[in-house]
Amino acid sequence: MASQLPPEVQEQLDQIMERIRKQLEDLLRWSYSQDEEEPPTATEIEKKIRDWTRRLGGDALLLAIGPLDLYRRKGKHKCPRCGEAVYWKRYEPKNCITTLGTFTLERAYYHHGPCHCGWVPLDDRLRLLRSELSPLAEEMVSYLGAFMPFAQASQFLRDYMGMELSPDTVNNATVRVGEALGKQQAEATQKAWTEGRVPAYEGEDPPEKLYVSADGINHLEPDGQGREIKVAAIYETEERALADGEVEIHAINTEYVVGSDPEALARATYVSASKRGLHEAQKRVALGDGAGWIWNRMAPILRVPDCTEIVDFYHASQYLWGAGESVYGQGSSRTQEWAAKVCHKLKHEGAEAVLSALSALPVPKNKPAQAIADARRYLKNHASRMNYPAYQREGLQIGSGSAESAVKRVVGARINQSGMRWRHDRAESVAQVRAAVFSEGRWPNHWAAYRPSLSIKRCQ
């Protein structure tokens, strides 16, 4: 049975309902007006109604949660440190910035002298954040901050949501959410390693093939130095027929994992991939360029019980082009002819067939052979990961475009915009938000499960 509204709340409700009727009548008279030289346009009417509904929503929100502590019996509450029940001490105001407006919320404050702490139970009940932003406002603000410069996001919120937030507020909210996502990722990884248990597969039908590809991208710090953020992409694939009858293999259901430390990223990727069916998949594939951290950190952790390791074909091709240019010149027809021939050989015969072609290159005495030596070393080091004929027969991707796309999409498109310089920890936090947004289901799941810890004040 519904609870009886407190008399004070019922009185406020009646006043709001009367105000709504009058405001709506005024609005309709204005929109129907034919007396003005320039009657209101559809845009003007829509904006006025939008502003009106936002104010109405703000009134309703304040009425719904504002009196929760004001008109109910506070009684005793257990101290979060020792468990002893204590009486409430006073009301404390909290400025709340919401998607419907800004208001002050009065909450009952409890204090326990022996533990030197104070707390507000209503904040925990409503899952309010320690910042002034409401959880929904923080979700929206951080989403915008992950997609556009903070000043632009601030302007957008002012123009279209009526929210007066500074660029610094947008910045801090975005970083705060990214830090929470990073902490969540680290805690899940730590739990898996501490307990020594493989995270359970969360799907219904295990994937036939599960890929993990990785790449890194640099951003500029305030001092002009470059720092790398690494991104792993976990995905499945599907074949798509082209108009000319060829078949392309496309990544689908991609999930992104962000980090700076290779070992931490590898472990976090393993946890996420396990939930995606790493152990249940018929085929596991690790795909990347020649970066040592991919094959020395990422790949070993995915070899459970086995994993097909593939070096990006297009990255290997760049070494062959470099070798050809060192002999025949950049952009020359002979370079194009030679490089096309050996790249075709690499794709259809593997690394061993190409090593002999590199050895047969006529190196002029007056030109350095470093590019040829680099190509030979690269192919020898990764020959076991260049069995492209076999990979293609199995219908596997041989290019790490998904990894390159991941770092550009998750990091480059936002963090490497013209003139931008970031403190590394803040850049990584923004990348965490973008990774969550672009990973199917992760962003809404985070907010559905997110519960901020009870804010406890240390009182002397």
pLDDT tens per residue across span 347-365? 999 999 999 889 888 877 7
pLDDT for position 57: 87
Rounded CA-CA distance 422/227 in Å is: 10
Q: What is the mean pLDDT of residues 65-77?
A: 73
- Looking at the predicted structure, is the pLDDT value of residue 410 above 90? yes
Q: C-alpha distances in angstroms, 444 versus 129, 184, 366, 447?
A: 17, 14, 61, 5
Rounded CA-CA distance 201/307 in Å is: 18
Higher pLDDT, 86 or 146: 146
Q: What is the mean pLDDT of residues 309-318?
A: 94
Give the angle 260-265-267 at the CA atoms, nearest 5°: 155
pLDDT for position 1: 47
pLDDT for position 130: 86
Structure tokens at 121: 């139970």
pLDDT for position 183: 94
- Looking at the predicted structure, is the pLDDT value of residue 230 above 90? yes
Confidence of residue 319 (pLDDT cuts 50, 70, 90): very high
Q: What is the mean pLDDT of residues 448-456?
A: 75
- Looking at the predicted structure, is the pLDDT value of residue 60 above 90? no
Confidence of residue 414 (pLDDT cuts 50, 70, 90): very high
What are the backbone angles phi and psi of residue 128, rounded to the nearest 5°?
A: -75, 145
What are the backbone angles phi and psi of residue 59, rounded to the nearest 5°?
A: -60, -45
User: Could you give the dihedral angle defined by the CA atoms of residues 366, 369, 372 and 378, in that order, rounded to the nearest 10 degrees?
Assistant: -170
Rounded CA-CA distance 381/315 in Å is: 14
Confidence of residue 449 (pLDDT cuts 50, 70, 90): confident
Rounded CA-CA distance 13/33 in Å is: 30
Structure tokens at 335: 């370079």
The 3-state secondary structure of 248-277, one letter per residue = EEEEEEEEEEEECCHHHHHHHHHHHHHHCC
Higher pLDDT, 124 or 411: 411
pLDDT for position 424: 97
Average pLDDT across the chain, whole number? 89
pLDDT for position 73: 57
Please write the tens of the pLDDT for every residue from 160-211. Answer: 999 999 999 999 999 999 999 999 999 999 999 999 888 899 988 999 999 9
pLDDT for position 349: 93
- Looking at the predicted structure, is the pLDDT value of residue 401 above 80? no
